[in-house]
Structure 1
Amino acid sequence: MTASEITDAPAPAPAGDPENLAGRLNQLRAAVLGANDGIVSVAAVVVGVAGATAQIGPILTAGAAAVIGGAVSMALGEYVSVSSQRDALLDRRAKGHAVDDEELVSAWAAAGASFAAFFIGAILPMAAILLPPASVRIPVTFAATLLALAITGAVAAGIGGGSKLRAAMRVVIGGALALAVTFLVGSLLGSQGVI
């Protein structure tokens, strides 16, 4: 290796490189938000069905469909988004523009992380609706979901440097609204004999 090749070689990124840190924090925030989506969307589905019927079969079926469908949807959305971004970056590189290899994120890795985050978040409302006795299923699910949303909201705000209390309140209010509406709709459908 010549002296000019040594001086022209890019220096390895230092361990505390702010760009690397920003990328990792962005991935962590995306994972927290993916878990948040798993929590609230699956909780809304199972609470809505539980509002219509106390039978565990329909609740389990709807919940399982929401977990799998939601996780696949999140993964597919992330895959398409990251693939499009990667294609644009590769096109820029082909046109002679400098593109940092760290910007070329793996679409498959992003999709897998999104699937896992949603799936992990969805476990909580599924356990909360399936494990307790029928008489307390709905209040337990409401409480567990809202507590988990408060935690994920605060964590996401902490990562982004925002107000943890304000962020927690936003997601708790939004989650409570989603649960209340789906429970009301399920109760109305159940009272009309739809289920």
Structure 2
Amino acid sequence: MSRLRLHRENHLVTRIGWLRAAVLGANDGIVSTASLIVGVASAAAKSDDILIAGVAGLVAGAMSMAAGEYVSVSSQSDTERADLARERKELSEDVDFEREELAQIYVARGVDHELALKVADQLMAKDALGAHARDELGISEITTARPVQAALTSAATFSVGAALPLLMVVISPAHLLVPLVSGASLVFLGLLGAIGAKAGGADVLRATLRVTFWGALAMALTAGIGALFGTVV
């Protein structure tokens, strides 16, 4: 007689909270800093000025990413808390209505109404608010907003991403700075796309082409502006 063996599965969706912030931060760090460097270099600026502009872009960008992620994810967190407070109030005022509401969600998914009521009863007996948060509001432990985690992850990965084109400024000859920074940054973006796709279980080629295309477009536009105006951005 065979026995059912239960095992813990590690789903990639559990990484969504930090993975999105990490990929966004690193991608923005590479693209914005490389574009800034290329734009300034195309305006015939000195190497020292280019490096200063790049470092300033790294610091400002990292702080901007941290603040932006914290504010936006905090807004999501505030909305989640408000919805949970409203749901808690409704459960205390009319539990029968909330029981039927939860059961109807399962009916819509294909469960018989009588069985759906039993499922709702059992889930609500254990954790009524948790059951409604998960199935009615779509709020779970995996997807819940974490502002501090998002802010720190974005700032750290932005700094790492921005440091890569800055390194190219230091080691590249002045007359080859633009092509070397551009080429290396596209390689970095391609690697980032591949790593992010691998970590998230997505298509590697599609992710690589996507981030590389937009990075190339950003650098090309910035280089064109720098060359056109011939001034330090």
TM-score range (shorter-chain normalised) is 0.7 to 0.9
Match of 2:80 in 1: 89
Give 1:63 shift.
Answer: 1.1
In structure 2, distance between residues paired with 1:180 and 1:104: 38
Deviations 1:114-147 (A, max 9, x none): 1101111100011112322212211210111000
Give 1:57 shift.
Answer: 2.7
**Is 2:173 aligned against 1:133?**
yes
Deviations 1:137-182 (A, max 9, x none): 1121011100011111122223343321122122212211211221
Give 1:17 shift.
Answer: 5.2
Give the number of the structure whose alpha-carbon radius of gyration is greater.
Answer: 2
Sort the Cα spacing of 1:88 and 1:130 in 2 relative to 1 into closer, same or farther, 3 A. Answer: same
Match of 2:117 in 1: none
Are the equivalent residues in 1 in contact too, given 2:15–2:200 (CA < 8 A)?
no
- Runs of at least 5 residues in structure 1 that lack an aligned partner in the other structure: 1-13
Are the equivalent residues in 2 in contact too, given 1:29–1:159 (CA < 8 A)?
no
Sort the Cα spacing of 1:182 and 1:102 in 2 relative to 1 into closer, same or farther, 3 A. Answer: closer
Give 1:45 shift.
Answer: 0.3
The code of the aligned residue for 2:29 comes to: G
In structure 1, distance between residues paired with 2:22 and 2:54: 21
**Is 2:17 aligned against 1:16?**
no
- Give me the CA root mean square deviation: 2.2
Match of 1:67 in 2: 58
In structure 1, distance between residues paired with 2:145 and 2:157: 17
Q: How does 1:30-179 map to 2 (within 5 A)?
A: 30-95=21-86, 96=88, 97-98=129-130, 99=133, 104-179=144-219
Question: Please, what TM-score do these two structures have when normalized by structure 1?
Answer: 0.80
- Runs of at least 5 residues in structure 2 that lack an aligned partner in the other structure: 1-6, 89-128, 134-139
In structure 1, distance between residues paired with 2:66 and 2:201: 26
The code of the aligned residue for 2:9 comes to: G
Q: Any idea what SS the aligned residue of 1:16 has?
A: coil
Sort the Cα spacing of 1:102 and 1:170 in 2 relative to 1 into closer, same or farther, 3 A. Answer: closer
In structure 1, distance between residues paired with 2:214 and 2:78: 35
Are the equivalent residues in 2 in contact too, given 1:130–1:137 (CA < 8 A)?
no
Task: Give the fraction of aligned pairs with identical amino acids, expressed as a percent.
Answer: 44
The code of the aligned residue for 2:84 comes to: R
Q: Any idea what SS the aligned residue of 2:9 has?
A: coil
Give 1:25 shift.
Answer: 4.1
Give 1:54 shift.
Answer: 4.0
Are the equivalent residues in 2 in contact too, given 1:38–1:121 (CA < 8 A)?
yes
In structure 2, distance between residues paired with 1:143 and 1:84: 38
Q: Any idea what SS the aligned residue of 1:145 has?
A: helix
Q: Any idea what SS the aligned residue of 2:164 has?
A: helix
Give 1:185 shift.
Answer: 1.4
In structure 1, distance between residues paired with 2:17 and 2:82: 24
Give 1:103 shift.
Answer: 5.2
The code of the aligned residue for 1:132 comes to: S
Q: How many aligned residue pairs are there?
A: 177
